[in-house]
Amino acid sequence: MNNSQQTMAIVNPRNGIEDFELTLSSASQVTDLASSLKQQQAHWWDIGLQSRIATLQELANSIAQHKPQLLDALVNDTGRYNESELEIDVTINSIHRWCKQAPDLLTNKEAWKAEIPFIELQQDYLPYPLVGVISPWNFPLLLSLVDAIPALLAGSAVLIKPSEVTSRFVVPFNQILKTVPQLDKVLALVSGAGETGQGVINAVDSLCFTGSVATGRQVGQLCAQRFIPAFLELGGKDAALVCQDADPQLAAKSLCWGSMVNAGQSCMSIERVYVHSDIAAAFLTKLVENVKELEHNYPDIQQGQIGPIISAKQVTIVETQLQDAKDKGAKILCGGEVLNLGGGRYCMPTVLTDVTADMKIISQETFAAILPVTVVDSDEQAIALANDSEFGLSAAVFSQNIEHAQKVASRLEAGAISINDSSLTALIHEAEKQSFKYSGLGGSRMGAESIRRFIRKKAYIRNTGVPSPWWF
């Protein structure tokens, strides 16, 4: 870091070269920006929901128009192409979806009579003036805006701090914001590491954080000290249960995708599989066949499915987990190494068996294209092993008997269960889910209720005719 210029060198994950200087936001800049956003929020609220919808639609259109510039930055941030293009498209679709749903979700009901006949009730809401968002490095744009969009529609101003690992997209995004002047006044991004994040927490009225459990604990404590709501979406070690009557080919194909998409760098990736011994051989054969077909997106970024490990810190973690598994007797069916390709670090798509609960690859979150598989003799054993985790983000169950799959799913300690598919929460946002155990805290990020995280409910209780104090 160059303290005189207040910049930070950012590494390109495809070549390991520091090729970008991130301009850091000072503590005073964060404070001043937060103050400005709060002042502008009052007008943003006063213009009404329909005007806010129109403004967000302008943002969606501007993102689409400037997609090449944004895509270029995301590609350099993450070392991947296809997922970055999809990330932009999903973000645009998310804006349109929320704009469509917001009127039904934020409209106050008419006044109604209480049980006491002369008392009339009316419900109102006010948004939190300034919502803070601290987002991670694996989906830089999408996870910066996934909470910001509903918060803005609810009437809040929003201050975002993306991960310093993947912040070069901030430059083109700020240019996009300038094309939507009304929004530019109430949505801003700041750049920096932990100190900048703490500055955001100290300045906002509500906070959404996505990241590790360790950092999430610190964030939650800081928010508790300030008495502001904290919505924490933290780590996962998602398990998949392949039951005795599952279709092994279907399960193998689905779990190949659910574990390897984005090179396994998603908190909702499948990271453990428990397969019944009766179909284990058939399942593993198909799984390894599918995984072996995957290729790195090197040297052509638009070819292949597996990009580099985005965060340099994760390389050591992944290598340590793999070595620990090998040392403790895990069998490698394919992959098993982290390669250096052109200076970037790429995990070979990996399937492991003979894994045990004491291995780090089973207990710790893994951001890489690695899938450990445990053979079990019963659903009871699979459920017990799946629940033996400090995480409870999501999971998957495979069975050709839907009723049986549902029964198994109901016993899993996780917030969302995909049945006969995997990682569906990454694609399906209508259902509400919360994170169990140390995977998070607070209301659902998905479903209708998620937009109401950003409002404070207010009640008007009117006496319509009886002189007070009527109870004496």
Identify the CA nearest to 399 among candidates 298, 315, 283, 225: 283
- The dihedral over CA atoms of 452, 435, 196, 221, expressed in degrees to the nearest 10, equals 100
Please answer whether residues 421 and 396 qualify as being in contact, where contact means their C-beta atoms are separated by less than 8 angstroms.
yes
Residues near 153 by beta carbon (within 8 Å), at least 6 away in sequence: 49, 52, 53, 56, 98, 99, 102, 106, 451
440-441 and 436-437 as β-strands: parallel, antiparallel, unpaired?
Answer: unpaired
> First-to-last CA distance in the chain?
71
Q: Could you tell me if 374 and 364 are in contact, meaning their C-beta atoms sit under 8 angstroms apart? A: no
* CA-based torsion, 309, 9, 59, 63: positive or negative: negative
| Catalytic residue check, 120 | no
Active-site residue among 99, 267, 271, 365?
A: 267
Q: Is the peptide bond before 372 cis (omega within 30 degrees of 0)?
A: no
Residue 137 DSSP code: S
Residue in the block written with tokens 């106050």: 108
Query: Which amino acid does the sequence have at 19?
Result: D
d(CA 347, CA 116): 67
Which of 83, 87, 233, 271 is flagged as catalytic? 233
Which has the closest alpha carbon to 202: 30, 41, 24? 30
Count how many residues are written for the chain: 472
Is the backbone of residue 85 left (phi > 0), alpha (psi -120 to 50) or beta?
alpha
Can you tell me the distance from the alpha carbon of 321 to that of 429, in angstroms, rounded to the nearest whole number?
32
Q: What is the DSSP string of 153-216?
A: HHT-EEEEE--GGG-TTHHHHHHHHHTSHHHHTTEEE---SHHHHHHHHHH-SEEEEES-HHHH
Helix, strand, or coil here: 235?
Answer: coil
How far is C-alpha 373 from the geometric centre of its chain's CA atoms? 25
Q: How far apart are CA 25 and CA 187, in angstroms?
A: 15
Helices (H), 241-311: 248-260, 277-292
Task: Scan for tokens 């070690």, then name that residue.
Answer: 237
Q: For this structure, is 223 an active site residue?
A: no
Q: Using CA atoms, how far apart are residues 143 and 155, in angstroms rounded to an integer?
A: 20
Catalytic residues: 233, 267
